[in-house]
Structure 1
Amino acid sequence: MSSSMRHSLKSGLRSSRAQPRLLQTSSWRQSTFGSQRTFATSGMCPAINKICGSAAEAIADMKSNSTVLVGGFGLCGVPNTLINEVRANKSRITGLTAVSNNAGTNGSGLSLLLETRQIKKMVASYIGDNKIFGSQYGNGELEVELTPQGTIAEKCRAGGAGIPAFYTPAAMGTVVQTGELPTKHHPDGTPAEFSLPKDVKIFNGKPYLLEEAINGDYAFIKAFKADRLGNCQFHLSAANFNGPMARNAKMTIVEAEHIVEVGDLKPNEIHLPGIYVKRVILSQVPKAIEKYVNSKELDVSTHLASPAPSSPGNNNREKIALRAAKEFKNGMYVNLGIGIPVLASTFVLPEVEVLLHSENGILGLGPYPKKGEENPDLINASKETTTIIPGACTFSSDESFGMIRSGRIDLTILGAMQVNATGDLANWMLPGKVKGFGGALDLVSNPEKTKVVVTMEHTDRKGNPKIVRQCTFPLTGRQCVSTIITELGVFDVDWKEGLTLREIASGVTVDEIKSKTEAPFKVVEDLKIMDS
């Protein structure tokens, strides 16, 4: 080869390297549910274009008996366009194993596929009040693998990261660990099959149980924005399970509210890189809100607000919540369970600054919104409408539960059905009424670092004590509760020595408390009045 030819070749190589071929977008017009925008066109066919013209096209090759990971929490961040399309193919797509925090509500979300009997197995943390979910589980139509909420998130995250299994402190000493949880029932409601016991290993003197990762065939994901490369952005608490599930499946299909040009999403605005995504469609289903809850009056000094006026008979609950608010200390990160714990946040003193954590992916939870200002992408762990305060941040469920298990949360306040003398807690199941774990098993998994306070009425509706010698209901955690607050008094819990009554409600006697408490307890010498 002559010197002139070599020079020409080198010049050509330098030129091609200096000016790489730009990826061009194809023509794409969005429907009324997305941005009103026409994309730039080019005669050059783009090398990467993951946009499908319809949900039907996106799932055309979906097979029966697949495992599908479905993002969302309640009705927030749920890929309803894809779910509806699977339902439209009910004769072709059957026998699915669906992995999701829950199954939506009756007539919405994954309940639509339960109605058509296209799901044979659910891996979920929460059944709740979903009647078709509970009915099919109870009569043996549906196999259910109840799994702690944080464990589901980590199972998906680990599987997507190439990690086949991991050890977690969540659910130690519960039916999840021992393998006594029914996964399937006979038609008469009696258990037919049970979960398998988990392997346990000690790390740094503490027991952990082994959980295997989940591997999905498909992932149905809801995003706020996506481009043709598959890059995605989530919006507020709608991130929830969508991120870890999207990274896990062989075939991740994203439905986005807005499909944007490549480059419209800045690099630091991309929450899910396109390398994980195979197909993108435009969402065709309007967003919904499961539980509208509004404030009656905002208090800007505390960033918190009272919910709608309480119903008659709630005086005990408010008394407990008022006392629980005294557990908040300046600078704390606090997680609140549903019911009385959430109510406690409305009584935080103006001079106390705390950041409220919600396990569905919010740090900096604010008050309930004013009527008309609800945001379907902003809900709390109770699936209620909420707001966030200045300085708040949102993130995915796997990161949220990482904060919890690692002890970054200073205080968690939970409701309970039973607490025993040494701090064992039962709060997720009554006999014959299985609603699911939610995030409770994770929240009590690190009591050495996260203080666990239980708020509850002293007796149940039949007058039976809820502070007992031994819990008879399935446990949420062992030796995890530090403080019990009821309408009658406040107890300190020593996991070895038992209970000590340190505060008593005005007008209540120690003898009255003893008559309504099954577990023995000591009384401090300087017994204080609870509401003083």
Structure 2
Amino acid sequence: MIDKFREDVLSVVDQVPDGASIAVGGFGSSGRPDRLLDALCELGKRDLHVYVNNVGHDFTGVGRLLHEGRLRRVTASFPILQEFYDDYFAGKVELELVPQGTLAERMRAGGSGIPAFFTPSGAGTMLADGSFTLRYAPEGGVAEHVPAKEHRLIDGREYVLETGIVADFGLVKAHQGDRKGNLRFRLSARNFNPLAGMAGRHTFAEVENLVAVDELHPDDVHLPGVFVDDVFLSGTPRPTPDDSRLIARTPA
């Protein structure tokens, strides 16, 4: 058996180079891999391109990366943090805005080996016609637009071509995981996490609870270990009544 459990998160995350692209799981603070995101900050990683549903509402998680000036580009659906827009309009960070369902499918497609697909979402809008601003110039004005996407009429309806996302790394957070890297997500944390894990060429997972190998029922595995390279214990466990099989827990 290949044991994927690691004690030292910094030594593993240190393989993420400056300029890397990273698919991040979570929806707001639900299922967000904060320990891994904090490690990127502690290691001084910069110039990162993150694929994430939303930046968050404060300076934790992806918001901390933004606050410390570590982001080059954000591909997201809901970057609601005001400070993000301050940096975006100041030309400090790029924005690729993507409809939420399209972002999810782009991650799933990339992880499944599908290079591109057609969707009606965004067709004929500024998100696809080449008029949306990717980057502002520091001195003001538009520096670069998101490239126009291919449109096609299918059965009388307009569709736009979207590409699958294959990121250099995937960062996810699971409720339970074993040493083989099999993961189970809980409730709303089962959102972008399995998709981000699939989309990363190398995927790191923090788990709230480490369970014995083969203790997870196959039907409870939401992301198989084949997609996961390294597993760490998170610092914030949230045990549930069905956790009788746990062999390790993170401290309260």
Q: Which residue of 2 aligns with 1:226?
A: 177
Matches within 5 A, 1:521-532: none
Q: Secondary structure of the equivalent of 2:41?
A: helix
Q: Which residue of 2 aligns with 1:278?
A: 229
Matches within 5 A, 1:234-313: 234-285=185-236
**Per-residue deviation at 1:188?**
4.9
Q: Which residue of 1 aligns with 2:54?
A: 102
Q: Which runs of 5+ in 1 are unaligned?
A: 1-46, 288-374, 376-532
The AA in structure 1 aligned to 2:54 is N
**Per-residue deviation at 1:60?**
2.6
The AA in structure 1 aligned to 2:205 is V
Q: Is the 8 A contact 2:10 2:43 kept in 1?
A: no
Q: Which residue of 2 aligns with 1:172?
A: 123
Q: Secondary structure of the equivalent of 2:37?
A: helix
**Per-residue deviation at 1:151?**
1.0
Q: Is the 8 A contact 1:81 1:285 kept in 2?
A: no
**Per-residue deviation at 1:206?**
1.2
- 1:50 maps onto 2:1 in alignment: no
Q: Provide TM-score, normalisation by structure 2.
A: 0.91
**Cα distance in structure 1, aligned partners of 2:221 and 2:34:** 22
**Cα distance in structure 1, aligned partners of 2:12 and 2:190:** 22
Query: Which residue among 87, 91, 101 is the counterpart of 1:136?
Result: 87
CA 1:286 to 1:266, structure 2 compared with 1: closer, same or farther past 3 Å? closer
- 1:118 maps onto 2:70 in alignment: yes
**Cα distance in structure 2, aligned partners of 1:81 and 1:254:** 10
RMSD: 1.5
Whichever of the two has the greater Rg, that structure is: 1
**Cα distance in structure 1, aligned partners of 2:3 and 2:41:** 26
Runs of 4+ that moved beyond 4 A = none
Q: Which residue of 2 aligns with 1:302?
A: none
**Cα distance in structure 2, aligned partners of 1:266 and 1:242:** 19
**Cα distance in structure 2, aligned partners of 1:146 and 1:117:** 19
**Per-residue deviation at 1:285?**
4.3
**Cα distance in structure 2, aligned partners of 1:125 and 1:166:** 18
Greater RCO, 1 or 2 (C-alpha within 8 Å, sep 6+): 2
CA deviation map 1:246-271 (0-9, x unaligned) = 11211100000001101221111111
CA deviation map 1:89-148 (0-9, x unaligned) = 11xx211111101111222110111112111111111122x1221111010000111111
**Per-residue deviation at 1:54?**
2.5
CA 1:257 to 1:286, structure 2 compared with 1: closer, same or farther past 3 Å? closer
The count of aligned residue pairs is 239
CA deviation map 1:494-514 (0-9, x unaligned) = xxxxxxxxxxxxxxxxxxxxx
Q: Which residue of 2 aligns with 1:184?
A: 135
Q: Which residue of 2 aligns with 1:61?
A: 15
CA deviation map 1:417-461 (0-9, x unaligned) = xxxxxxxxxxxxxxxxxxxxxxxxxxxxxxxxxxxxxxxxxxxxx
**Cα distance in structure 2, aligned partners of 1:94 and 1:147:** 23
**Per-residue deviation at 1:189?**
4.5
**Cα distance in structure 2, aligned partners of 1:234 and 1:124:** 21
Q: Provide TM-score, normalisation by structure 1.
A: 0.44
Q: Which runs of 5+ in 2 are unaligned?
A: 241-252
**Cα distance in structure 1, aligned partners of 2:35 and 2:141:** 36
CA deviation map 1:156-201 (0-9, x unaligned) = 1000110111100001121012111011112355322111111111
Aligned sequence identity (%): 36
CA deviation map 1:461-489 (0-9, x unaligned) = xxxxxxxxxxxxxxxxxxxxxxxxxxxxx
